[in-house]
Amino acid sequence: MQSFELDKSDIQRIKQALEGDDETLKTLLSEYHASEIAILFEGLPQESREHIIHILPADIASEVISEMDYEIHPEKIIENLDPEKRSEILDKLDYDDATDIISQLPEEQQNEILRNIDEEDANQIRNLLTYPEDTAGGLMNTQVLKVNSNLTKKEALDEIISLSEEMEEFYTINVVDSQNRLVGIVSLKDIIKSKYTVHIRELVNADFVFVKADTDQEEVARLLSQYNLTSIPVVDDEMHLLGRITFDDVIDVLQEENTEDILKISGVSEDEELSGNWKEAVRSRLPWLILNLGTAFLAASVIRYFEPTIARLVVLSGYMTMIAGMGGNAATQALAVTVRRISLSDLTDKQSYMAVVKEFTVGLINGAATGFIVFVFALLYDSNPLLGLVIFLAMTGNLIIAGITGASIPILLKRVGIDPAIASSIIITTFTDVFGFLLLLGFATKLLL
């Protein structure tokens, strides 16, 4: 099956069908998978999305809503549905998906919606709403397959069959004691292969991976990846089983975290929606640009200090932008690699030291290589070997500084409790601009005048 991409012709077909009767629209929508309809929603106005959700069967509508990008605001659709249709859809949604959507609404709307759905579902969602959304508790689904360790094989299979009717899929079976404390996991294969009279406690694998409810979602993703798990149980401090997190939930987390880091490194607030309008973009980016402007004055002050040198050696002005630009690019490369390493795991002191040493070495080699190329250019074009030497030294020095700052600054920010992706790019740009100009103009003043 090929991946589905948003196409203008598909959007046009849907829009034409929306102008006709609902049966024609239903027939057309039946040609698309629920996830494809969610993608098509990106090209449709809010009223059209709400109409489509209203006419779709509850099971399909719930799947479409769960697949919608958060920037398309599925919570607004849920809010505007009539209570009966809303209740049907929420009943089909997994608790974690329903919670994610409802949590985006104001508290007053949340309470109104929860008052008009099944009481058990409402209680489960209220419980999940108490957990921060970026933790295991906020990510988990409380619908979990569990059996008591004292059950026999037959009793356990009967329990599994009964519980599985409420779940679309399951990957592992959690084993609990009489107080609902998690004691281990067992595979369905081991249960089926075991003797008829065996007890589940004899099959339990007590060496298993679990997370607490307050575990950060990035750590959950790391554990699932490290141990190649399809799901991971969530427990409280007393090991009571609270829920489970599946790999598909973690895929969404990884996409969100990667997008967030890319935006932060670029100096864009995570609050800016990718599909937002120009007003939202300006409001999000302007503060960072103003901050960056403030740091740019530092680089400008270096240039003003060396105005006599620049006046006598105008040729330096062309090389200044080259050295600053190369330093900025090199620092961004080192920054991206380091932030990625930090996001995967906390670096030890030795790992941090080795990361900085590595980037120092890379900066030295790359600086010498690119500096030599510019040295040859200055030798041939400007016929000035001493100018070439000045540029070579400045380029090499600035790329070394770029490597060191690109690696060390995010590590230091992480150590003091600041998100390294937020401020690193502005700080390293300041370093590479200031030191790039300082090295070039300083060496030129000493060697050429």
309 DSSP β-pair partners: none
Which of these ranges, 107-121, 211-225, 279-293, has the smallest mean pLDDT? 279-293
Q: Which one has a higher pLDDT value, 298 or 403?
A: 403
Nearest residue to 387 via CA among 302, 310, 313, 326:
313
Residues near 150 by Cβ (< 8 Å), separated by ≥ 6?
178, 199, 200, 201
Distance CA 182, CA 149 (A): 10
**How big is the chain, counted in residues?**
449
64-89 residue pLDDT tens? 999 898 778 899 999 999 989 999 99
Distance CA 377, CA 384 (A): 10
pLDDT at 277: 63
pLDDT at 239: 96
Scored b (16 or more CB within 10 A) or e, 358-376 reads ebbebbeebbbebbeebbe
3 state SS for the chain: CCCCCCCHHHHHHHHHHHCCCHHHHHHHHCCCCHHHHHHHHHHCCHHHHHHHHHHCCHHHHHHHHHHCCHHHCHHHHHHHCCHHHHHHHHHHCCHHHHHHHHCCCCHHHHHHHHHCCCHHHHHHHHHHHCCCCCEHHHHCECCCCEEECCCEHHHHHHHHHHHHCCCCCCCCEEEECCCCEEEEEECHHHHHHCCCCCEHHHCCECCCCCEECCCEHHHHHHHHHHCCCCEEEEECCCCEEEEEEEHHHHHHHHHHHHHHHHHHHCCCCCCCCCCCCHHHHHHHHHHHHHHHHHHHHHHHHHHHHCHHHHHHCCCHHHHHHHHHHHHHHHHHHHHHHHHHHHHHCCCCHHHHHHHHHHHHHHHHHHHHHHHHHHHHHHHHHCCCHHHHHHHHHHHHHHHHHHHHHHHHHHHHHHHCCCCHHHHHHHHHHHHHHHHHHHHHHHHHHHHHC
Residues near 338 by Cβ (< 8 Å), separated by ≥ 6?
355, 359, 406, 407, 410, 411, 420
Distance CA 153, CA 130 (A): 37
Distance CA 234, CA 216 (A): 12
- Residue 181 sits at φ, ψ, to 5 deg, of -90, 135
Nearest residue to 425 via CA among 329, 347, 303:
329
Distance CA 198, CA 369 (A): 70
pLDDT over 70 (residue 415): yes
Distance CA 378, CA 385 (A): 7
Identify the structural domains of the chain with CATH numbers, from first to last.
Answer: 8-130 (1.25.60.10), 146-246 (3.10.580.10), 278-448 (1.10.357.20)
For β-strands 231-235 and 241-246, DSSP reports them as antiparallel
Q: Which one has a higher pLDDT value, 382 or 150?
A: 150
Distance CA 103, CA 110 (A): 7
326-355 residue pLDDT tens? 998 898 889 888 887 886 667 888 888 999
Which of these ranges, 49-58, 314-323, 396-405, has the smallest mean pLDDT? 314-323
pLDDT at 179: 94
pLDDT at 94: 87
As a whole number of Å, the end-to-end CA separation of the chain is 69
Site of tokens 């991409």: 5
Distance CA 256, CA 58 (A): 27
pLDDT at 290: 82
234 DSSP β-pair partners: 211, 243
pLDDT at 1: 45
- Residue 132 sits at φ, ψ, to 5 deg, of -60, 140
6-46 residue pLDDT tens? 677 888 999 999 998 999 999 999 999 998 999 899 889 99
Distance CA 265, CA 175 (A): 43
Site of tokens 């103009």: 441
Nearest residue to 248 via CA among 94, 111, 57, 22:
94
278-314 residue pLDDT tens? 677 677 667 777 877 887 888 889 999 999 999 999 8
